[in-house]
Amino acid sequence: MTVNDTTAPKPAKKPAPQFSDYPHQVTDNIRFGDLDPQGHVNQAVFLTYFETGRVAMFRNKDLGIGVPGLTFVMVRMEVDYVKELHWPGSIDIGTGVAEFGRSSFKVSQAIFRDGVCAAIGKATLVCMDVKTRKATPLPEEAIARLSKWKLQDG
């Protein structure tokens, strides 16, 4: 097969996420200050929208993933920008836990406007000991509480 061979099968395109796929859902406003000189929401602001979704989930009084002496820090964020966002308006942010590791977990998120996906994100968060500032295994109690927000396919 050569580099220019167009007969190779193309991988199946993954269907766009739906807001209903996400167990935790919040709404946020697009602010005029979120815009860049081109008149659309700046790519960096998408990270703030994702943060809004995560914080709303983690700080939910029923979830309370806080564990004395431990904290959770982000070590990786991936974003696929799918569609421009413009002011004025509001967005919906879907969030769910995708998987657990030994000392980390991954959160999948998506931003929607009028039911259409504008961005998809995946964050990796690590459990860290506050005193030593080193990664530490996820406590079973945190896993149990986070499992409430586990994605069906993740």
* Domains delineated in the chain: 19-149 (3.10.129.10)
SS3 152: coil
pLDDT in tens, 64-86: 566 788 888 999 999 999 999 99
The pLDDT of residue 14: 77
- pTM for the predicted model, two decimal places: 0.86
Answer for the pair 44, 34: CB distance below 8 angstroms, yes or no. Answer: no
* Confidence band for 111, pLDDT divided at 50, 70 and 90: very high
pLDDT in tens, 24-35: 999 999 999 999
